Structures are given as C-alpha cells and as structure tokens.
Amino acid sequence: MTLPEETTPAPAVDGATAQAMFAVLQQRAAALGITLRNPPPEPTTCCGRGCNGCVWEGFLSAAEYWRQEALLQLQD
C-alpha cells in the first residue's frame, strides 16, 4: 500500500494498520536515503480477553511514538 507523498499515515488502530503505516514511512525514508530505526514488534502474548493494559495498548503507543519520530525525520 503506497500513499501520495503529501498524505501522512494515520495512527495505527490495530496490527494490520500499524504494519501498513510502518511500510509507507519506511518506503518514504528509503526513497530519501534516510534510515529509520526498526519499528516495534507486534505482541505475541495477548490472551484475547480485553485486559486493562493489554499488550496491544502498549504496542499501539509504541507504534505512535515510532510514527511521530519517523515523521520528524522525514520533515528535514
């Protein structure tokens, strides 16, 4: 999935949108010769019960931090 250069990927809401967002920003960075740090790995320990403080909440927070950091690097 590629987006036009002027489109900023939205924050991730699940694993699939996070992976798509990572891919878009990594492609843009590669085209500009910029190396981004590796995105956070998806959790593998979710029990699926919707726990308060689910590992997916932490992942999505880390994914948003990574997105913001990547966007700052791509601004330069």
Dihedral (C-alpha) 23, 5, 9, 39: value to the nearest 10 degrees?
Answer: 30
Cα–Cα distance measured from residue 48 to residue 31, given in angstroms and rounded to the nearest whole number:
38
| Burial (Cβ within 10 Å: 0-12, 13-18, ≥19) of residue 55 | middle
Of 48, 46, 39, the C-alpha closest to 20 is: 39
pLDDT tens figures, 13-69: 999 999 999 999 999 999 999 999 999 999 999 999 989 999 999 999 999 999 999
Q: Return the beta strands (E) in the chain as ranges.
A: none
What pLDDT, on a 0 to 100 scale, did the predictor assign at position 58?
95
